[in-house]
Structure 1
Amino acid sequence: MMRATRLAKLNRMADGSSPRVLELCSGCGGMSLGLQAAGFSLLAHVENDPVAAASYAINFSPPVGVEKDRWAAPRDMIECSASDLAEDLGLAEVSGEFDVLAAGLPCQAFARIGRSKLRSVTGDEDAFRNDPRARLYRRFLEYVEAVQPVVIIIENVPDILNFGGHNIPEEICQTLDELGYHTSYTLLNAAFYGVPQMRERLFLIAYDRSIGQRPTFPDPTHAAELPSGYEGARTVALKYIPAENSHFHPIPIPAADLPGAVATKAALSDLPYISEHYRDPGEMRRRKLTDKLPYRSFSGLSAYAKRMRAWKGFETGGETDGHLVRLTPRDFAIFRRMRAGADYPRALQIAETIFAERLAQESPRPRKGSKRWIELRNSCVPPYDPDKFPNKWWKLEPTFPSRTLTAHLGKDSYSHIHWDSRQQRVISVREAARLQSFPDGFRFAGAMNAGFRQIGNAVPPLLALSIGCHMLSQLGSALGRLTDDIEGAEAA
């Protein structure tokens, strides 16, 4: 039965049908957007965050016959089985519906950066291992058995390769081997694929063994020098790659003659100049995420900006939305004085200078430790320990890609301070979307914090597009050779 189900899907794809996708943990749809642009059809998705599920439904139309409210409904992949999903959406028997099973499984349990916080909150030294999100990959494998896809794609943080000394992707691959797949995994950096962001992620791809094709990964389209720290992080992540019989694919390396990575200034310069947060905070408070502003008049519009304005199905005219920024008046003066590339320790030095200047303006000068002295200090100096939060703040470098955007943007976007000191602010929601390669016509449900969180959680659409195009190329070549074999196998 398993064999016949996948053969029928391969036969349909060989006849020219677009591969049909079910995505688990879809978020607002970054991976789906890239796969759709590559030529895949979006048939269903599962996302338990109601706001992200709403964003998905805003941007992607439901398949014919699927009701809009069912398409937009949040679902938990633990509570909702594959057959439950198919029944809920009015689809046929689940194993025959989906050709591709994709998932951006929650990364918080795997990321080393969050493990200390999880320990402090729970008091459990092994809290990251016991986090229920760390076991979702097993639920994913149950979906594989139910759906019988011919293509599988998983995205996660590199630390999933070294989860307390355990290589989870290798375990997944071994299980998929037993289920009749050829599998590979590697690390891809989004900056190598046209995204203006240094974002390293694990990707695992599997093909039904009948295709006779072991998955590979797209060649980089852009070159960039990895910042300090990336090689060390890679070394830690790759520590548990097996010496023999590994499914690990060598990390693609950019060719020397490729164009340079897209820089933040090229990516963002045509977006609106924002100063309301310090000129008229009331106006910023009244602004909604859906409110639109015109693009800046800007000569020499970058190819990247043009692409974000003209993405098929998400084209914009002369304006776009998402121009909300945080109102943090204590720090505007610090942002203004910071140099590009400066981090929190430097910001703290600047804050101390501003505090000293403010003290000098007082008459009489407040006594250290007095109520007025404390009041002034709190109005100038952030309270964070630079030894504990060395990278809490960071000012974008206009001639380089951005650092990684994370879901923590929903709580604190100081990791991405705009390079233009005149604007003295952190990035806006639309600027974060641009850095993640969401087109300007892509809309986000919810308010500002929810928008930031959805963007930080997403797979960069341009990276997903590169992967999707590469997979279709591999599948097309293989299916062209296999048509006769598939028909013969079905007859047998």
Structure 2
Amino acid sequence: MNVIDLFSGGGGLTEGFLRQGFNTVAHVEMDTHACSTLRTRLFYHILKENKIDDYYAYLNEEITLGQLFEDNCEILNLPASSIINQEIDSDSEKNIIKQIKELIAIQDISHIDGIIGGPPCQAYSCAGRGRAYENMKKDPRNYLYKHYLSFLKEFNPDFFVFENVPGMLSAKTDIEIFPDFERNVKKLGYNIDYELLYANKFKVLQKRKRLIIIGHKDSKNYFDFSFDKKNNFEVWDVLNDLPKLNPGEGNDSPVAYTNKISRYLKETNIRTKRDIVINHAARNHNANDREIYRLVIKAWNNNHQRIKYDELPKELTTHKNKKSFLDRFKIVAGDLPYSHTIMAHLSKDGHYFIHPDIGQARSITVREAARLQSFPDNYKFEGPRTSQFKQVGNAVPPLMAESIAEKIKNNV
């Protein structure tokens, strides 16, 4: 089944569909570093059958990405060219559609089966709602769904998957966003089913809540959202085998695991026998923040207590605002079956994502965040660390995406 992936990010949704045998004809993403990550991952999927040694040679820094491509250019050229690094807006829409049609022609594809993706969600989030109405109204991100509609109209796929934050259901500017989206997809001939889904129902060790909208042409068909994969694990199961780091230690380069593979990592294929640790670098923290981290960790480990900012010793508080966002320092609780939601805000600071080990007293790394999102260890995030955190935080968890893709393959 052939799909177009819009607003691809670092490829979390794509990953799930690739695992289920879908052919991603084209990917459209505005962020250059996310495109690099996506390109590397597409190389993995192409090489995994017969030339996986070459891919791991790159992960182990035995060859460069350029050498990997040069040595396998005949089979990697198409996936590389399938990534369109452009922002979707009124000026670029027609050109992007033209490029996708060229990719369809190159692959001799007669029909696009599906379109997947979800536009950036910041405008529909609680933080986005906090801005003045006029600023919300002028924010072009609020209207990116209209471009999604244009692609549906142009390519007329049998189904689509639209992913976003729950806030889209109630978001409004001069119009109510979701009702307008629903009216327009019905005009294009689609019936929709939608649900608010928690990632932990897909064996992801994170309680991430997302809106999933499935569109299909069959009026008698409906999408069954009954997902509930049993989870008998806890957050420590994704952290315990990774090297311990002090603030400022580690880097993107490969290092060895420090413990045996946990049952969770094995069952989910997050870690395999061939894998190594990459993207595992701790950001620097000042002494004041580390002292706060220790207090937060101790309070949770001893009493399962979350410390609010206004409860900290006065000598440790540096922010004047002590009336809002009081849980700005938050532990990723190791003894719970899931963490709180991993967000792109990780790129700015790690205070909201403190590692549960008091001996390390730091925020989580890109690899730790990626594991909580269910990305496998052989999924390499490209670009600077700030971008890597954004890519992870904005992604659909691959285990969640794979379950949705599997059900679509079998039922839509």
Q: Which TM-score tier does this pair reach, normalised by the shorter chain?
A: 0.7 to 0.9
Among 370, 376, 382, the alignment partner of 1:433 is 370
Contact 2:192 2:216 in 1 (8 A): yes
SS in 2 for 1:184: strand
Query: Are residues 32 and 174 of structure 1, via their aligned partners in 2, closer, same or farther at CA, if it must alter by over 3 Å?
Result: same
Question: Is 2:298 the partner of 1:302?
Answer: no
Go from structure 1 to structure 2 and tell me whether the alpha carbon gap of 1:382 and 1:457 turns closer, same or farther (over 3 Å shift).
Answer: same
The partner residue of 1:399 within 318, 325, 335 is 335
Q: One-letter code of the match for 2:87?
A: D
SS of the counterpart of 2:361?
Answer: coil
**Sequence identity percentage:** 28
Answer yes or no: is the 8 Å Cα contact 1:218–1:467 preserved in 2.
Answer: no
Task: Name the counterpart of 1:84.
Answer: 98
User: Per the alignment, in what secondary structure is the counterpart of residue 292 of structure 1?
Assistant: coil
CA pair 96-171 structure 1, distance change in 2 beyond 3 A:
farther
Q: Name the SS of the counterpart of 1:51 in structure 2.
A: helix
Structure 1 gap segments, 5+ residues each: 1-18, 223-258, 356-379, 476-492
**What is the aligned partner in structure 1 of residue 126 from structure 2?**
112
Match of 1:71 in 2: 82
1:360 counterpart residue number: none
Alignment partner, residue 284 of structure 2 = 327
| Cα pair distance change 1:93/1:149, threshold 3 Å | farther
Give the superposition deviation at 1:445. 0.7
> 2:34 and 2:273 mapped to 1: Cα distance?
22
Confirm whether residue 265 of structure 1 aligns to residue 227 of structure 2: no
CA-atom RMSD, angstroms?
2.6
* Residue 21 of structure 1, CA deviation: 1.4
After superposition, what is the alpha-carbon deviation per residue over 1:202-233, rounded to whole angstroms, capped at 9, x for unaligned?
000011227x41222242113xxxxxxxxxxx
Mapped partners of 1:73, 1:163: distance in 2: 29
Contact map agreement 2:3 2:24 (CA 8 A) in 1:
yes
What is aligned with 1:156?
164
The 1-side partners of 2:166 and 2:129 are apart by 14
The whole-number CA distance in structure 2 between the counterparts of 1:328 and 1:160 is 35
Inter-CA distance 72–152: structure 2 relative to 1 (3 Å threshold): closer
| Cα 1:471–1:191 shift into 2, 3 Å | same
Q: How does 1:11-90 map to 2 (within 5 A)?
A: 19-61=1-43, 66-67=77-78, 70-78=81-89, 79-81=92-94, 82-87=96-101, 89=103
Larger Rg: 1
Does the residue aligned with 2:82 lie in a helix, a strand or coil?
helix
Amino acid of the structure 2 residue aligned with 1:267:
V
- How many angstroms does 1:129 deviate by? 3.0
Contact 1:96–1:147 (8 Å) recurs in 2? no
Give the conservation status (yes or no) of the 8 Å contact 2:13–2:396. yes
The aligned amino acid for 1:154 is F
> 145-154 or 328-337, which moves further after superposition?
328-337
User: Cα–Cα, structure 1 residues 21 and 199, in superposed 2: closer, same or farther, change >3 Å?
Assistant: same
Cα distance between partner residues in 2 of 1:176 and 1:304: 39
Mapped partners of 2:23, 2:153: distance in 1:
21
- Give the secondary structure class of the aligned counterpart of 1:437: coil
In the superposition, the TM-score normalised over structure 2's length comes to 0.83
1:271: how far off? Answer: 1.6
Superposed, 1:45-444 pairs within 5 Å as 45-61=27-43, 66-67=77-78, 70-78=81-89, 79-81=92-94, 82-87=96-101, 89=103, 91=105, 96-116=110-130, 119=131, 124-164=132-172, 168-209=177-218, 212-222=220-230, 259-260=231-232, 262-275=233-246, 277=247, 281=248, 284=249, 287-289=250-252, 291-298=253-260, 301-307=261-267, 310=269, 315=272, 317=274, 319-330=276-287, 331-338=289-296, 339-340=299-300, 343=306, 345-346=308-309, 349-352=311-314, 355=315, 380-383=316-319, 385-400=321-336, 401-444=338-381
Residue 159 of structure 1 aligns with an amino acid whose one-letter code is G
| Deviation at residue 91 of structure 1 after TM alignment | 3.1
Q: 1:167 to 1:189 in 2, by over 3 A?
A: farther
- 1:306 and 1:126 mapped to 2: Cα distance? 50
Q: Which amino acid aligns with 1:323?
A: H
Query: Any stretches of 5+ residues in structure 2 without a counterpart?
Result: 47-74
Give the deviation of 1:351 after TM superposition: 4.6
Partner of 1:376: none
Tell me the CA shift for residue 73 of structure 1. Answer: 4.6
Name whichever of 46-55 and 159-168 sits farther off: 159-168
1:362 corresponding residue in structure 2: none
Q: CA deviation at 1:72?
A: 4.4
The one-letter amino acid paired with 2:251 is K
Checking the alignment, whether the CA contact within 8 Å between 2:171 and 2:178 is kept in structure 1 is no
Q: Are positions 1:472 and 2:412 aligned together?
A: no
Report the Cα offset of residue 195 of structure 1: 0.7
Cα deviation for residue 444 of structure 1 reads 0.5
1:341-383: CA deviation from partner (whole Å, max 9, x where unpaired): 655625x64453xx4xxxxxxxxxxxxxxxxxxxxxxxx4432
Cα separation, 2, equivalents of 1:65 and 1:414: 40
Mapped partners of 1:473, 1:167: distance in 2 = 33
Contact 1:54 1:72 in 2 (8 A): no
- Give the secondary structure class of the aligned counterpart of 1:205: strand
Distance 1:22 1:461, change over 3 A: same
Using the TM superposition, give the Cα deviation of residue 198 of structure 1 relative to its aligned residue in structure 2, in angstroms: 0.8
Give the whole-Å Cα distance in 2 for the aligned partners of 1:410 and 1:464: 23
| Code of the aligned partner of 2:125 | A
Select between 463-472 and 436-445 the one with higher mean Cα deviation.
Answer: 463-472
Q: 1:93 to 1:172 in 2, by over 3 A?
A: farther
The residue number in structure 2 matching 1:482 is: none
1:461 aligns with 2:402: no
